[in-house]
Amino acid sequence: MSLFVMTGATSGIGLQAARQLLENPRHELIVGARDPERAEALRRLAPEDRLKVAPLDTSSLKSVRAFAGFVQNASAGRKIAALGLNAGMQPSNAARFTEDGVEECFAANYLGHYCLSQLLQPLMENNGAIILTASGAHNKADPVGKFLGYHGQKYSSAAKVSVGALSETSSPAQGARDRYATSKFCVLLYVFSKEPVKIHENVRLIAFDPGTVPGTQIVRDLGLVAKFAWATVFPVFAGMLSGFSTTTQSGDALAKLMAHPDLAPHTGLHIDYRLKTAKDSPETHDSNLQSDLMAYSETAWPHSACALP
Ligand SMILES: NC(=O)c1ccc[n+]([C@@H]2O[C@H](COP(=O)([O-])OP(=O)(O)OC[C@H]3O[C@@H](n4cnc5c(N)ncnc54)[C@H](OP(=O)(O)O)[C@@H]3O)[C@@H](O)[C@H]2O)c1
């Protein structure tokens, strides 16, 4: 049996990836999920000996630690083949802050996953993969991102990002898109970091770009017009336009990346929904920005807090 752990598997791309992984009777899955009703619906996908679902809010350090403890107990000494860290939220207007005092989008999309990866990596198989879902929205040159109103990442320092203080923010709605793009930029800085990130040499750190995938629940906090267009108009373009994908294509690609080490054979890769190398902005490879984020990440939620007993 191969053991997998996922976040963000209650809907959209992650739900499809979970379904795909569970198609193989030799796969076992542990999922962290925030919403109890969606968690229960997911739980019914497979018998409990193959699918376990436990509470997880990736924006809360306390919750991330509790979930990591659950995984440690449930895995009972068996090693994890891959982590699919796919949970993500798109904020709508003014910044909100978590119980830890961190801007919610940065905490949910990046910092919680950073901490979870640090906590769980000692439990990984040799050549196991930690796969974090990124987004083309981080890149101001991304044509689909531009079309959707993204202006790319606005990272100046991790300390500023963590309190929602981004540069050149023009309106609350644009500020929300900037925070989303910047949180995904942080995912890529982490994956590309050349700093001595505390990830074991035998574990691969991979970024996954799902493309633009209309019809998912990522727009749940946006206005009615945006939700309507996302659910009905945009799916028409998926499969016809470059950069657009479908829930099935992107979910299946994520599941394949998790289950097949040969598709992303070494650490620091950025792979898209076609299982090809994804495009990233040059700033994602800036070692000063990488160092700044890694220094922040290790102290904001101190490394001691990101280690299992
Ligand atoms: N759709 C796109 O076009 C697109 C493009 C680029 C990147 N992405 C990324 O792809 C990933 C999947 O998105 P999707 O489009 O499939 O959207 P989705 O249907 O909204 O799925 C998002 C998943 O993340 C979970 N989640 C959100 N915030 C969480 C938190 N604080 N703690 C725990 N779980 C949380 C949601 O759980 P709940 O059920 O509890 O809400 C849900 O399972 C995200 O990382 C997203 O940013 C999507």
* pLDDT tens digit sequence for 84-124: 999 999 998 889 999 989 999 999 999 999 999 999 999 99
Q: Which atom of ligand 1 is nearest to the CA of 35?
A: 40
Q: Is 38 in the pocket of ligand 1 (CB under 6 A)?
A: yes
Residue closest by Cα to atom 5 of ligand 1: 212
Cβ atoms of 118 and 198 closer than 8 Å: yes
CA distances from 83 to 68, 137, 276 (A): 12, 23, 20
Cβ atoms of 26 and 1 closer than 8 Å: yes
Q: Which atom of ligand 1 is nearest to the CA of 90?
A: 47
Under the banding of pLDDT at 50, 70 and 90, the label for residue 154 is very high
Using the mean position of ligand 1's atoms as its centre, give its distance from the Cα of residue 280 in Å: 20
Q: Which of 116, 133, 137 is nearest to 307 (CA)?
A: 116
Under the banding of pLDDT at 50, 70 and 90, the label for residue 237 is confident
Q: Is 212 in the pocket of ligand 1 (CB under 6 A)?
A: yes
Under the banding of pLDDT at 50, 70 and 90, the label for residue 224 is confident
* Number of CB atoms found within 10 A of residue 229's CB: 15
Q: Which domains does the chain have, with CATH numbers?
A: 2-306 (3.40.50.720)
Q: Is 218 in the pocket of ligand 1 (CB under 6 A)?
A: yes
Using the mean position of ligand 1's atoms as its centre, give its distance from the Cα of residue 85 in Å: 10
Strands 27-33 and 204-209: unpaired
